[in-house]
Structure 1
Amino acid sequence: MTNLMDERGDLAGERPGVVRVGMVDDHQSPVWGIERILEGQTDLELVEAAPTVAELLAKTADLDVVILDLRLNDGTTPRENVNTLADRGIVTVVYTSGEHPDLLRSAARAGTLGVVLKSASEEEVLAAIRAAAGGEEVLTTEWAAAIDGDPNLDGVDLSPQLQRVLTLYASGGTSISVGHELGVTPDTVNEYLKRIRQKYADAGRPTRTKLDLFKRAVEDGWLPMPHRDHAP
């Protein structure tokens, strides 16, 4: 694929505050579509695209968000790709036609920030990229359905106290507010959170961020499934 950075004189790296977007898709037409959608957006720049994650990172790892296709011809799994990018500090938004829920679940378990269908509107795509760049969950019905229908999530046994800490903290609480609610110190809450993260790590379900904890709480039924409002 062509180097989009070479084709454009106004590189995102030269414009402070611009979100650097990469794309991994082994078909050219979706890349053209995303490039067109991002044209004229002053805060977003598609700086590089490649058919595999390895090739993308070989060109540049200086990215904020990667738009990731689920089915790639190099034999990698969505989970591997999301983890590889996360290790470089890059968040992902899955961009898919949505006909493979098993692949969606693999990406969801690995910590992707959300799923956007290739049939989504331009506004939805832009909103998803901006949300992910800000560290926000891209809450869509497709992502919710993917994790809701996952029959293979390894269960994590949490005590009632750890369940309470998880739900309060994942719902937006802080160590201080959770401690106040439970009558314990913030240091105790942090120790509880370490135990929770370790239990999920042992189950192969990463909790690198607070958003990951939110996902795990939803997956295991400690918090309700998110829903996206639809216009009437």
Structure 2
Amino acid sequence: MITMSMVDGDQMLLDGLTAWLSATPDVRLLSTARTVPELLGSGVERADVVILDLLLADRSDPIANVRTLVAAGHRVLVVSVVPSATMAMQVVRAGASGYLTKDHNLAALVSAVREVASGEIARSPEATSGRSSDRGVDRPLLSPQERAVLLAYASGMTLAAAARSTGVQPGTAKNYLERVKEKYRRAGRPAYTKIDLATRAREDGLLR
């Protein structure tokens, strides 16, 4: 019997998975949670596999979530709506045992759980075939103004200095940065802090 827990805010997915598993004799869902701390603090026995949504409602960092669960002794299968080869690589490097996009059906999800439980790495075909390695999939399209403010700010300038260097008001520069953060979030590569933005800019070859 393979046991699993799920950290995801998608109630439809949770309900569908629960119904599916009722007819799956070798896999059992132990618990569900909306955040990693909620799961770890639940007191439920440790499952063989934890299914972790990439982007949770608490806006927690996906890589930190993976590392926290792995450090607690869990095998982690990350699921996401984002077919990102870059993110798949990053979560696996952080210790996850798999990355699966949510356009797959529940049978594929359960199959991936079995792979992870057996000690293998499970990935979506999009992530392994290289089709999504085209940076257009997971590299957000930034406007010239957004890119200019991002580069100035991520290079170490304050918000005010970045605004001056790009010829805009601080409030406008802040709006540009919020747009940049949202675009990265939608691409499955969240950037909440200045350090995050600098990391994303370096990953995309915008900063050395």
TM-score (norm 1): 0.51
Gaps of 5+ in 1: 1-17, 152-232
Shift of 1:33: 1.9
Contact 2:78 2:100 survives alignment (8 Å): yes
Deviations 1:5-58 (Å, cap 9, x if unpaired)? xxxxxxxxxxxxx21110011231121122122222221111100100110111
In structure 2, the CA distance between the partners of 1:105 and 1:81, relative to structure 1 (3 Å rule), is same
Which of 44, 59, 63 lines up with 1:75 in the alignment? 59
Which of 81, 85, 92 lines up with 2:69 in the alignment? 85
User: Which amino acid is the alignment partner of residue 51 of structure 2?
Assistant: I
Runs of 4+ in 1 over 4 A off after TM superposition: 99-103
Partner of 1:117: 101
Partner of 1:45: 28
Distance 2:54 2:129 in 1: 16
Distance 1:82 1:145 in 2: 23
Shift of 1:150: 9.8
TM-score (norm 2): 0.57
After TM superposition, the structure 1 = structure 2 runs for residues 62-211 of structure 1, keeping only pairs within 5 Å, are 62-98=46-82, 103-144=87-128, 149=133
In structure 2, the CA distance between the partners of 1:139 and 1:119, relative to structure 1 (3 Å rule), is closer
Gaps of 5+ in 2: 136-208
Shift of 1:88: 1.7
Distance 2:77 2:126 in 1: 12
User: Which amino acid is the alignment partner of residue 33 of structure 2?
Assistant: A
Partner of 1:36: 19
Contact 1:70 1:104 survives alignment (8 Å): no
Shift of 1:122: 2.9
In structure 2, the CA distance between the partners of 1:96 and 1:139, relative to structure 1 (3 Å rule), is closer
User: Which amino acid is the alignment partner of residue 48 of structure 1?
Assistant: S
Shift of 1:108: 2.7
Secondary structure in structure 2 of the residue aligned to 1:41: coil
User: Which amino acid is the alignment partner of residue 95 of structure 1?
Assistant: V
